[in-house]
C-alpha cells in the first residue's frame, strides 16, 4: 500500500511539473533581452535563408549579448544553440571546416545541456536531433551511433507535443536520407514533410513577436520538394519551391539553385 501511494505521489509531482512548464511565459521577463533575442533569431533566420554567413554571425553576437544579460534563461540558451546549428550547417554545406568545427561542438553541448535542464520541453529534443543529423551528414560513420539517438529524441518530443512541425520535419529528413535497407523511405518522408508543412501553415504568422521556436517552414518546403523530385513528381516539387520563394523572396537556394535547375530539367527542350 505504501509503495502504491509513493508511486501516485511521484506521478503527481511529475504531472504538476509538466503542467507548470507548459504554462511558463514565452518571455525572458526582461524586455531588453527579449528584443535582443528576437533580433538575433531573425538575423540568424534571414542569414540562413539568404546564405549569408556574416548575418548569422551578427545574430549570434546579439544572442551572446543577451546571454551576458540573462545567462540562465531558457530562450537565450535555446537560440544560442539554434544559431550554432545553423552555422554548423552552413560550414558543413560549404566545406568550411573551421566554421563547422567551431559551431558544431558549441551547438551540441548547449542543446544537450538544455535538454537535460528542461526535460519537459520538446523543442531542445528536436533541435538536438537536428544537430545530430548534421553531424551524420558531415561524417556518415557517426550514423550508427547518432541515428538512433536522433530518432529517440524526436519520438519523445512528439509524445510531449504531437503538433510540433519541426519534429515531423526531422523525422522526414531521417527517412529521406537513410538507405532503404536501413529503414529509409522517400514515400514516408513525403508523408512527414507534408504533415510538417500543414502544421506550420496552421500557425501562420503568430510566431513573429513570440520567443517560442518557429523555425523550419522553408526547410520543410525544400525537403518536400526534394522528396517530390525523387518520386519524379516535378510539377509538385516546383510548386513547393515557388511557395518557399513566395514566403521568403530572398531565399537563395530556391531562387538560384532549386527552381532554375528543376525548370531546366522539365523544359520541353531537354525532353527532345
Domains 30-161 and 163-204+216-272 share a fold: yes
Question: DSSP class of residue 95?
Answer: T
Look at the domain 163-204+216-272 and name its fold.
1.25.40
Which residues, 6+ apart, have CB-to-CB distance to 39 below 8 Å? Answer: 59, 62
d(CA 256, CA 94): 16
**C-alpha cell of residue 50:** 539568404
- At the fourth CATH level, the homologous superfamily of domain 30-161 is Tetratricopeptide repeat domain (1.25.40.10)
**C-alpha cell of residue 228:** 517530390
Q: pLDDT at position 210, please?
A: 83
Whole-model pTM: value is 0.88
DSSP H helical segments within 23-142, as ranges?
31-50, 53-69, 74-93, 97-117, 122-138
Q: Which of 151, 113, 116, 114 is nearest to 130 (CA)?
A: 151
Tell me the domain boundaries of the chain: 30-161, 163-204+216-272
Residue 224 near residue 195 (C-beta atoms within 8 A) = no
Average pLDDT, consecutive stretches of 10 residues, N- to C-terminus, the chain (272 residues): 40 38 68 95 97 98 97 95 98 96 96 97 98 95 92 96 97 94 94 97 73 95 98 97 96 97 81 45
Q: Which of 174, 171, 74, 70 is nearest to 121 (CA)?
A: 74
DSSP H helical segments within 161-232, as ranges?
165-177, 186-203, 217-230
Q: pLDDT at position 268, please?
A: 65
Q: pLDDT at position 25, please?
A: 61
Q: pLDDT at position 267, please?
A: 80
Amino acid at each position: 500500500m505504501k509503495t502504491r501511494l509513493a508511486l501516485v505521489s511521484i506521478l503527481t509531482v511529475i504531472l504538476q511539473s509538466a503542467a507548470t512548464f507548459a504554462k511558463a511565459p514565452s518571455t525572458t521577463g526582461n524586455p531588453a533581452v527579449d528584443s535582443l533575442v528576437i533580433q538575433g533569431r531573425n538575423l540568424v533566420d534571414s542569414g540562413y535563408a539568404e546564405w549569408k554567413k556574416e548575418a548569422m554571425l551578427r545574430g549570434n553576437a546579439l544572442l551572446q549579448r543577451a546571454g551576458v544579460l540573462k545567462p540562465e534563461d531558457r530562450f537565450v540558451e535555446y537560440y544560442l544553440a539554434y544559431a550554432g546549428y545553423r552555422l554548423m550547417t552552413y560550414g558543413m554545406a560549404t566545406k568550411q571546416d573551421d566554421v563547422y568545427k567551431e559551431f558544431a561542438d558549441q551547438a551540441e553541448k548547449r542543446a544537450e545541456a538544455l535538454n537535460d535542464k528542461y526535460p519537459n520541453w520538446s523543442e531542445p529534443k528536436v533541435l538536438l536531433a537536428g544537430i545530430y543529423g548534421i553531424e551524420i551528414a558531415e561524417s556518415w560513420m557517426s550514423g550508427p551511433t547518432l541515428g538512433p539517438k536522433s530518432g529517440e529524441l524526436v519520438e519523445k518530443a512528439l509524445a510531449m507535443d504531437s503538433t510540433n512541425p519541426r519534429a515531423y520535419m526531422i523525422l522526414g529528413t531521417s527517412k529521406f536520407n537513410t538507405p532503404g535497407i536501413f529503414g529509409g523511405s522517400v514515400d514516408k518522408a513525403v508523408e512527414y514533410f507534408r504533415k510538417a508543412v500543414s502544421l506550420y501553415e496552421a500557425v501562420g504568422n503568430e510566431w513573429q513577436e513570440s520567443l517560442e521556436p518557429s523555425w523550419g517552414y522553408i526547410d520543410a518546403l525544400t525537403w518536400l520538394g526534394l522528396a517530390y523530385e525523387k518520386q519524379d513528381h516535378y510539377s509538385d516539387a516546383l510548386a513547393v519551391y515557388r511557395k518557399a520563394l513566395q514566403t521568403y523572396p530572398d531565399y537563395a537556394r530556391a531562387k538560384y539553385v532549386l527552381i532554375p535547375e528543376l525548370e531546366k530539367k522539365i523544359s520541353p527542350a531537354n525532353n527532345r
